[in-house]
């Protein structure tokens, strides 16, 4: 076979025309098949002409380790010259990949190489050599450490620096270390202007990503340092990882570049807009809100739903719009003015809006300009257009009751047209038991959070909201203190609680979240988990599981309504719903105990 060309090994060889898996045997002279697919073959591949290996042949007489275009070819890092990187990672080690996203390109003052340099104008290789000889309590001397030679490293390895006792002159004075530019204290001349004039945007144009990235690497204002000090303190108190802390700092630096008025307080809408640049949104909002630097201008989900139903469509009279906005404000925030009212859940308010929207639209089309013009006959006519016993009519009746109660309490209407109107009841279904095998399988789930949540509902009948809002201090000596009730935890629940607490302490040892069930998103915060946690990883839902527990109790006690009323906090109507299942012979005879031991 003729000798290969001089540049044959520098090109990526194409794949075999037949198998489309292996690379072609040779590119110069050209061969369109691998040794396994050559006509008349398969043939054994020759040994590597460079290392002599007889396995893992790649192309052009070289194996995968020796061919320069092979994905398994090993070389030196372009940033720190460390040995052990691959071409699929652009010949860059993990440390240098992070380094390139935080520091700009330049010329190292100490070795003269063109690379990404830090604020001390040193490349990563020079700085790592200086850290090898760094004394405790002193900054690394880059010039002396790299004066005669440099020590190279293996890539992607963690180095443990030599630990020496602190000298006597090192004392903690309560200030951030000035060796790190991301932890400089707040300067006296740095302040936020509450009355700063903001330049309005004429054209909304996305900046050039490359220009933005280069500016992000060199952005180092006093306000950015002030932000970084706040983030560092917040991360220390809430047990954040280094990666999360650096991501929030980078998002704040990006925010300072994009904002038209960097000295003004931060708007939440500007932070949310960082999603297009892969910014960290939730953690950044938490830090700014705790520091008192955030202006809340992003509407909540309920407010967006309210605007979509009443405001966006237009045509709503001004008086009705003002009354509806007052009602929404009192429902979400409560009222200390008589008649006083506690805030309602956002889900409840959303259901009221869903019921009010078609009724209000009907009155607007009829020419009504204010809710003071609405009479009892208008309400009955609007409700008659909705199907009797449907959920839409039930939502409308509850929404109208809430609306006119608030308007009458504020003396915005003369009379309450809902007075004397009986609310229709909604048809309910019959609770059915779950499969006992399914409950046992979920109790033995490999996910400790799922196993604990299922056990709390299956054995003690807690609701999904109660499980979500449980705190560590609610459980003392194997007893659960819940809404004034002292509940002794069963043995299966205690064993799963112990397994979950061990997992929690191993995974998030420094978390400050007081809630019992936490996840990756809530561990660095103080909020409870979402509605789907941890049930999204389970085949059962808390409502169906609680119904199964109540059914088991009422069948085991022979229909004792007072007992389930006390045990599970049900109303009279709710307890009667479960009592109705006791009258079904098929359910009474076939229902057996499902609680595993």
Cβ density class 361-384: b for 16+ within 10 Å, e for less: bebbeeebebbeebeeebbeebbe
Kindly report the backbone phi and psi dihedral angles of residue 105, in degrees, each rounded to the nearest multiple of 5, phi listed first. Answer: -75, 150
pLDDT tens column, 398-454: 999 999 999 999 889 898 998 888 887 776 777 788 888 999 999 999 999 999 999
Tokens of 382: 């609007």
Looking at residue 132, its pLDDT comes to 86
Cβ 60 vs Cβ 51: under 8 Å: no
Looking at residue 353, its pLDDT comes to 93
Cis peptide before 339 (omega within 30 of 0): yes
Helix (H, G, I), strand (E, B) or coil at 295: strand
Tell me which of 452 and 174 has the higher pLDDT: 452
pLDDT tens column, 203-238: 777 788 778 877 877 777 777 778 888 888 888 888
pLDDT tens column, 245-261: 888 988 888 888 888 77
Residue 13 has pLDDT above 70, yes or no: yes
The CATH number of 436-581 is 1.10.443.10
Q: Rounded mean pLDDT of the chain?
A: 81
Q: Count other Cβ atoms within 10 Å, centred on residue 113.
A: 14
Q: Mean pLDDT across the stretch 100-126? A: 88
**What is the rounded distance in angstroms from the CA atom of residue 86 to the CA atom of residue 72?**
6
**Three-point CA angle 492, 497, 502, nearest 5°:** 135
Cα separations (Å) of 552 from 82, 220, 530, 541, 558? 66, 64, 28, 17, 10
pLDDT tens column, 541-597: 999 999 888 888 888 877 777 777 777 877 777 777 777 776 654 444 444 444 443
- % pLDDT > 70, the chain: 87
Position 166 confidence tier, pLDDT thresholds 50, 70, 90: very low
pLDDT tens column, 500-556: 999 999 999 888 899 999 998 899 888 898 889 999 989 999 999 998 888 888 888
Cβ 27 vs Cβ 59: under 8 Å: yes
**What is the rounded distance in angstroms from the CA atom of residue 111 to the CA atom of residue 125?**
9
Tell me which of 47 and 6 has the higher pLDDT: 47
Q: What is residue 296's DSSP assignment?
A: -
What is this structure's pTM? 0.65
Distance of CA 581 to the CA centre of its chain: 42
Provide Rg for the chain, Cα atoms.
34
Distance of CA 565 to the CA centre of its chain: 38
Cα separations (Å) of 67 from 61, 78, 84? 9, 18, 15
Cα separations (Å) of 321 from 310, 360, 499? 8, 10, 53
Among candidates 212, 210, 199, which has minimal Cα distance to 257?
Answer: 212
Domain coordinates in residue numbering, the chain: 1-73, 76-145, 209-295, 305-409, 436-581
Residue 391 has pLDDT above 80, yes or no: yes
Question: How many Cα atoms sit within 13 Å of 259 on the Cβ side?
Answer: 24
Residue 344 has pLDDT above 50, yes or no: yes
Cβ 151 vs Cβ 129: under 8 Å: yes
pLDDT tens column, 295-322: 888 888 899 999 999 888 778 889 999 9
**What is the rounded distance in angstroms from the CA atom of residue 494 to the CA atom of residue 499?**
9
Least confident of 15-19, 130-134, 139-143: 15-19
Q: Where are the alpha helices (DSSP H) in 431-490?
A: 436-443, 448-460, 464-469
Q: What dihedral angle (degrees, nearest 10) is formed by the CA atoms of 55, 61, 64, 67? A: 160
Tell me which of 263 and 594 has the higher pLDDT: 263
Q: Please, which residues have CB within 8 angstroms of residue 357's CB and are 6 or more apart in sequence? A: 309, 310
């Amino acid at each position: 076979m003729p000798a290969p060309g001089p540049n044959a090994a520098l090109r990526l060889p194409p794949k075999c025309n037949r198998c489309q898996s292996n690379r072609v045997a040779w590119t110069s002279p050209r061969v369109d098949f691998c040794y396994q697919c050559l006509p008349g073959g398969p043939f054994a591949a020759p040994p590597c002409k460079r290392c002599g290996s007889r396995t893992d042949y790649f192309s052009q007489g070289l194996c995968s380790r020796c061919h320069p275009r092979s994905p398994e070819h090993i070389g030196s890092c372009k940033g720190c010259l460390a040995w052990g990187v691959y071409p699929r990672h652009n010949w860059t080690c993990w440390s240098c990949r992070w380094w390139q996203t935080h520091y700009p390109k330049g010329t190292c003052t100490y070795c003269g190489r063109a690379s990404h340099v830090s604020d001390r104008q040193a490349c990563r290789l020079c700085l790592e050599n200086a850290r090898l000889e760094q004394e405790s309590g002193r900054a690394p001397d880059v010039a002396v450490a790299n004066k005669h030679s440099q020590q190279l490293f293996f890539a992607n390895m963690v180095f443990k620096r030599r630990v020496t006792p602190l000298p006597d002159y090192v004392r903690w004075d309560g200030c951030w270390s000035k060796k790190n530019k991301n932890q400089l204290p707040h300067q006296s001349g740095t302040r936020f202007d509450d009355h700063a004039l903001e330049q309005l945007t004429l054209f909304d144009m996305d900046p050039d990503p490359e220009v933005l990235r280069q500016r992000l690497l060199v952005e180092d204002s006093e306000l950015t340092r002030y932000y970084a000090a706040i983030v560092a303190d917040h991360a220390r108190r809430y047990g954040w990882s280094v990666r999360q802390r650096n991501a929030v700092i980078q998002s704040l630096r990006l925010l300072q570049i994009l904002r038209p008025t960097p000295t003004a307080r931060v708007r939440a809408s500007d932070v949310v807009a960082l999603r297009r640049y892969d910014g960290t949104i939730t953690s950044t909002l938490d830090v700014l809100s705790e520091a008192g630097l955030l202006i809340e201008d992003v509407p909540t989900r309920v407010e967006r739903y309210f605007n979509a139903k009443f405001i966006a469509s237009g045509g709503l009279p001004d008086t009705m719009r003002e009354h509806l906005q007052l009602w929404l404000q009192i429902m979400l925030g409560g009222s200390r003015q008589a008649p006083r009212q506690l805030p309602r859940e956002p889900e409840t308010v959303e259901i009221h809006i869903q019921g009010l929207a078609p009724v209000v639209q009907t009155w607007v089309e009829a020419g009504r300009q204010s809710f003071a013009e609405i009479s009892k006959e208008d309400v009955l006519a609007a409700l008659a257009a909705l199907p009797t016993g449907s959920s839409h009519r039930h939502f409308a009746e509850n929404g109208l009751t809430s609306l006119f109660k608030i308007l009458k309490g504020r003396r915005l209407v003369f009379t309450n047209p809902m007075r004397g109107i009986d609310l229709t009841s909604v048809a309910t279904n019959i609770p059915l038991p779950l499969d006992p095998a399914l409950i046992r399988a979920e109790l033995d789930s490999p996910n400790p959070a799922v196993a604990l949540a299922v056990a709390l509902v299956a054995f003690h009948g807690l609701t999904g909201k109660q499980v979500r809002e449980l705190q560590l201090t609610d459980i003392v000596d194997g007893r659960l203190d819940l809404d004034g009730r002292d509940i002794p935890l069963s043995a299966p629940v205690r064993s799963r609680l112990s397994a979950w607490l061990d997992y929690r302490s191993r995974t998030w040892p420094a978390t400050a979240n007081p809630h019992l069930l936490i996840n990756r998103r809530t561990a660095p915060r103080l909020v409870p988990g979402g509605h789907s946690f941890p049930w999204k990883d389970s085949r059962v839902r808390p409502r169906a599981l609680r119904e199964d527990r109540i059914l088991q109790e009422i069948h085991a006690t022979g229909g004792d309504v007072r007992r389930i009323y006390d045990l599970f906090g049900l109303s009279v109507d709710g307890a009667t719903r479960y009592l109705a299942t006791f009258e079904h012979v098929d359910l009474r005879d076939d229902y057996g105990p499902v609680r595993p031991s």
